[in-house]
Amino acid sequence: MSKSQSIATTATDPTVAAAAAQFLSPLVHGLQALVVNGKQAHWHVRGANFIGVHEFLDTVVANAMAFADSAAERIVALGLPIDARLGTIADKIEPTQVSAGFSASEDTIRAVIADIDAVLVDVKAAIDGLDEIDLTSQDIAIEIMRGLEKDRWFLVSHVAV
């Protein structure tokens, strides 16, 4: 089989598509939840470092949205749908620690870090699971991990002693 035939087979093989979607779907769901919860945190953060935290949470939200889009588009490119409606996400994601109301900046940061950590568990599973299935999908998961870990580092730096 030539290299171009191998690439074409991967993109159209229903077994590969289903396996890749199995690992990428939780990423889409977790990242979409991070978008919604990150905006909630952004609107309600109070206290020390307000401007820095408030503005950086917009960055976290934008990054999570872009990462979710990449994972979802990969699933669709493989020929499968992705259900990322809010009801589906709410059914599949553990409750957030982000407050429904106003919250001190340190509490807000810790809650968003916990949400990022929950997504990172699924990202690590996707990286490991996709290694033998689909390297292109794995590359997307690796890029998501790289970005989430960077955002997490910036948030941790706000509360580190």
Q: What share of the chain is helix, strand, coil (3-state, %, to 5)?
A: 80, 0, 20
- Number of domains into which the chain is organized: 1
Give a yes or no: residue 28 inside a domain. Answer: yes
pLDDT < 70: residue spans in the chain: 1-12
Given a contact cutoff of 8 angstroms between Cβ atoms, the answer to whether 20 and 134 are in contact is yes
This prediction's pTM: 0.91
Q: Output the domain CATH number for residue 71.
A: 1.20.1260.10
Q: How is residue 136 written in tokens? A: 């292109």
Give a yes or no: residue 5 inside a domain. Answer: no
What per-residue confidence (pLDDT) applies to 83?
96
**Rg, Å, the chain Cα set:** 17
Domain holding 104, by residue range, is 12-159
Q: How is residue 94 written in tokens? A: 């553990």
Give a yes or no: residue 2 inside a domain. Answer: no
Give a yes or no: residue 122 inside a domain. Answer: yes
For residue 39, the Cα-to-chain-centroid distance in whole angstroms is 14
> What is the distance between the alpha carbons of residues 74 and 71, in angstroms, rounded to a whole number?
5
% of the chain exceeding 70 in pLDDT:
93
What per-residue confidence (pLDDT) applies to 6?
46
Give a yes or no: residue 120 inside a domain. Answer: yes
Q: What single-letter amino acid sits at 151? A: D
Q: Which residues face 104 on adjacent strands?
A: 46
Tens digits of residue pLDDT in 34-74: 999 999 999 999 998 899 999 999 999 999 999 999 999 99
Give a yes or no: residue 6 inside a domain. Answer: no
Give a yes or no: residue 7 inside a domain. Answer: no
Give a yes or no: residue 124 inside a domain. Answer: yes
